Amino acid sequence: MNEDNPGRVVDKALFREAYKVHPYGRPVIGFVDTIRKTTREDLLAYFRANYVPGNMVLVIAGRWTRKRPDR
């Protein structure tokens, strides 16, 4: 879909040229050939290796209080 949007095509080209040695120059979702070669097994192996409790962080934002025992 992005290839049908001239603005996105120009944005990708600009970032590719401006950030040749920086990760910003690479597409966020990956290169087309890499995505096409990725199998379900590849995705599951990545998920099982990286989405583990030791790699997770709990973040609580906003007004948060805990119940206090009566004093």
Q: What is the pLDDT of residue 34?
A: 92
Q: How far apart are CA 65 and CA 51, in angstroms?
A: 29
Q: What is the pLDDT of residue 32?
A: 87
Structural tokens at position 16: 């590719």
- CB contact at 8 A, 29 and 35: yes
* Torsion sign (Cα): 22, 27, 28, 32: negative
Q: How far apart are CA 14 and CA 18, in angstroms?
A: 6
Q: What is the pTM of this model?
A: 0.52
Q: How far apart are CA 3 and CA 23, in angstroms?
A: 20
Inform me whether the pLDDT recorded for 1 exceeds 80: no
* pLDDT per residue as tens digits for the range 17-28: 999 999 999 988
